[in-house]
Structure formats: C-alpha cells, structure tokens
Structure 1
Amino acid sequence: MNISHFIDYSIVAPSTTEHEIIDHCYNAKKNGNYAVTLNSCYVPLAKQLLAGSEIKICATVGFPFGFADTKTKIFEAKTAINDGANEIDMAINLGYLKSRNYVSVLKDIFEVKRAIGDVPLKATIEISELTKNEIIKVCEICMDAQVDFIKTSSGFAKGGATLTAVKIIKKTVKNRIKIIASDGIDDYETILKYIEMGADLVGTNANVMQVNKTQQARNSKIFKQYIENLEKKDNPNSNTDIITSKTTELNN
C-alpha cells in the first residue's frame, strides 16, 4: 500500500528555520505527501517551493494552545490563505471545553469556518487532555461547526494519537468528518494501523519512506523455497548446505 498520499507532513516546532522548511518541502515533493503543515509565517516560502505540485499547504492558526480570541484566529487564517495556504489547522480552545462552555467552543470554531468558506478547516482537539466523554462532545461540536477534519494532537501536549481515541472519534463522526491521527506516529507499520482503524490522514514530522515491497516479496520467495527444500531433504548435512546457501542469498 502506498501511504504517501495519506501523510500530512508537519513541521511546527518553534525553532523551525527556513533551511528546515526547504528540506521539508523537498521531502514532501519527493515522497508525494498529501500536505505540508507549517506555521503561517512560512506559507509564502512553501508556496514557492511547492509550485507545480499537488501537495497542499496547511497553515496553523491559534497554535499550539488555542487561546487566541476568535477575531485573531480569523485574521491569521485569512492572511495565511491570501499568502497561499490551501487548508487551515486550528487549535480549539481547550479552556472553554474544560469549562463546559460549549457554546463558546462552537462559536470559536464555526466563526473561523464561516470566515474561510470552502477552504478546508482542521480542528485540533488535543485528545491527551480529554476524557472519553469530552472527546465525544467536542466531536459533536465539530460536526455542528461543519469542520472538515478532526485532528487528534498538535504535538505540544503530553501525548499524541492513540488507536482508542481514533476509534472513539470514528464511531462518533462516522463519515461526516475526516480524521487525522497526529503525533507520535513515525513508521510505516504504525501508519497502516491508524489507516485501518479509520484515520483518513496521518500527521507526522518523520520522513517516512515507502516500504520496498519488491524486496519483501523476493525475501519471502527465497524463504519459501528454503522451507520446501528442507522438507525434501532427509540428509542433515544437505540441510546445513541449504541453510548456508539461502542465508547468503538473503543477506545480498
């Protein structure tokens, strides 16, 4: 399975340099990732670097803690779009959610979505800070606010995505909102697990390369032949020769 198009390739560390953005966009183009997610100040640079590609540019808004007021988030989002962003990744206001001020949570998200129109909005909900019931509640709010994606984590909290959280989100939103499992996912096998669980995209800052399926198939074929030859041989000395021969093949 080609996982490249499922990867939202993120680089949002506070110390991110221009040189790192250049390398990041180069890797995204080389791997054919779905999008690059970065802080809004680097949107113009990313637009230049990714010109001619289908890779989306996603700008962060209210990151990482979501405490900026709604007007500030709207201004930041609109500026990023004018600079070339194709998507907006907005951190929700966890303080409002924890206060059970659900009206303010909804208003904050909905006003940003309304301001950016058809531009996809990703709502980062920070699952490591939430109980199961809070995850369900914020998912319901996101559906009412008409967001396009729910993202599990910003990368700045105490924990990242979990399979359990993705399962809860998927059960709640079904197919109404897409899911981004983000943070703490940095290898091919783990990405596959999240996709199989229901994630539509996986957010990672790791340069995950596609697994070489041709080499895997070759090694499997060699091992199968090795087993078949062992079964045909009754002479232990012959078995030793086969083991030595096949081990040499696998190592080449």
Structure 2
Amino acid sequence: MQLSHYIDHTLLKPDATLSQINTLCKEAVQYGFHSVCVNTSYVKTCADLLKNSSVKVCCVVGFPLGAMDTDSKAFETQTAIKNGATEIDMVINIGAVKDRRHEYAVNDIAAVVVAAQGHPVKVIIETALLDDDEKKIACQYALEGNAQFVKTCTGFSGGAASVDDVRIMKKVVGDRMEIKASGGIKSLTTAEALIQAGATRLGTSSGVALIRGGQINGGY
C-alpha cells in the first residue's frame, strides 16, 4: 500500500488562511492522500474543492481541549457532516478519563458517533497528558462509545505519536478499532515504525515531504 493512502493531510493552525486551505486540498489531490483534516469553518470550502476527487474531508470536533460539553460536540459534528465532512476526529474529555468518569466519557463519544450519521469517528485521547493506565482506559471508553478509531495526539498539548503509545492502544483495541497516529510525524522512519506498530492512519502536516522522500520500506 502506498504511504500516501495512510495520510490525513492536516492544517489545524489557528492562523490558517483560505489560501493555505486551497493549497492543502490541491496537494491532497496531487499526492493521493486519504483526506484533508481541518477545523469546522473550512469543511464546506474543502468539500467544494475536493468534490470531484477521492480525497475525503476530515473535521476535528471539540478541538483541541476536549472539554466542551457533549451537546456542543454533537452539534459541531452535525454541522460538519452537513457541510460535507466524511470523517470526524473528536477530542475525548481528558478530565473525565483522569477522573474515571466512565459513563460521562462513553456517552460523550457515543453522542458524537450518533451525530456523525455512520461516518467514521476517531477519538483523540491526547496521549501526552495521560499515563499508560489512563491511555488504556481512554481506549476502552472509545470502544464502548462505538467509535471506529483511537488517535494519539492533537499536537497542541506537547508530545508526539510514539511507537510505545500505538502498541498500548493496539493491545486494548486489537482488531476492533483502527489506530491513527498523529503528532510529530516528520520522517519516513517514524512513519514506518508507527505503521508496523499498528497504526492504520497517519495525521501529519508533513505529508508532502514524506512522499517526496519516497515510499516506506516493506511495500507500504
């Protein structure tokens, strides 16, 4: 499989401009990325720019803190889907994980899954803020909330995707969910290691540089 098919081409900076979003979409088509990943306000623009391509539109929800209430996350998800998003990356309520507020955290995820109307939901567990036990708990919550993916980082709270974190996540979710690694993926070596550890998607703003560097060893 081509490396490009793993990549969610990402632009989530607060100062992102329409010109940069336009470039993001053009690059995604040119290099055959799986999706572009943007904030809610740019979903319709991306959907319009990509309507004749195979590139999907991924939108972040409750980003980057995850501390919004459940109704707000669900509404944001509904808006994103209405405007053309086909994948949702939501931030888990990190405090709820640390507090072991099982019912709240699971219901928070489940509400977004329902609002996504059958489109894939990836739960960002923000590994940089969790210890290993909390990472396992967050993955279990994502499973119980019926999400399709767990995801490592937002990139806004420090830390980066690591092989160890992907392995921890894989031990919990097995083949019942997919794993998206994101945060600090800037080399082919890192990308290859994350995929071998179990990641099936890579979120990165360095996708073009990775592709220009060649294919991942081993046929990816």
User: In the alignment, residue 124 of structure 2 is paired with which amino acid?
Assistant: T
Moved more, 149-158 or 114-123: 114-123
Larger relative contact order (C-alpha < 8 A, sep ≥ 6)?
2
C-alpha distance in 2, partners of 1:62/1:212? 34
What is the CA RMSD across the aligned residues, in angstroms? 1.2
Structure 1 counterpart SS, 2:28: helix
Task: Give the C-alpha shift of residue 50 in structure 1.
Answer: 1.0
Structure 1 counterpart SS, 2:211: coil
- 1:31 is matched with 31
Structure 2 counterpart SS, 1:209: helix
- 1:114 is matched with 114
- 1:96 is matched with 96
List per-residue Cα deviations over 1:93-120 (Å, max 9, x = no partner): 1111112212111111111112223111
Unaligned runs of 5+ in 1: 214-252
Q: Percent identity?
A: 37
- 1:46 is matched with 46
In the TM superposition, 1:15-26 aligns within 5 A as 15-26=15-26
The normalised TM-score by structure 2 is 0.93
List per-residue Cα deviations over 1:61-102 (Å, max 9, x = no partner): 110001111111111100111100001111111111112212
Structure 1 residues 212 and 144: alpha-carbon distance in aligned structure 2, compared to 1, 3 A threshold: closer
Task: Give the C-alpha shift of residue 210 in structure 1.
Answer: 4.2
User: In the alignment, residue 200 of structure 1 is paired with which amino acid?
Assistant: T
Q: 2:75, 2:115 within 8 Å by CA — same for their partners in 1?
A: no
List per-residue Cα deviations over 1:20-70 (Å, max 9, x = no partner): 101111111111001111001001110111121111101111100011111
1:190 partnered with 2:190:
yes
C-alpha distance in 2, partners of 1:17/1:164? 35
User: In the alignment, residue 108 of structure 1 is paired with which amino acid?
Assistant: D
Q: 1:4, 1:210 within 8 Å by CA — same for their partners in 2?
A: no
Task: Give the C-alpha shift of residue 172 in structure 1.
Answer: 1.0
Larger Rg: 1
The aligned length equals 213
Task: Give the C-alpha shift of residue 211 in structure 1.
Answer: 3.9
The normalised TM-score by structure 1 is 0.82
In the TM superposition, 1:196-215 aligns within 5 A as 196-206=196-206, 207=208, 208-212=210-214
Unaligned runs of 5+ in 2: 216-220
C-alpha distance in 2, partners of 1:43/1:103? 31
User: In the alignment, residue 186 of structure 1 is paired with which amino acid?
Assistant: K
- 2:218 is matched with none
Task: Give the C-alpha shift of residue 199 in structure 1.
Answer: 0.4
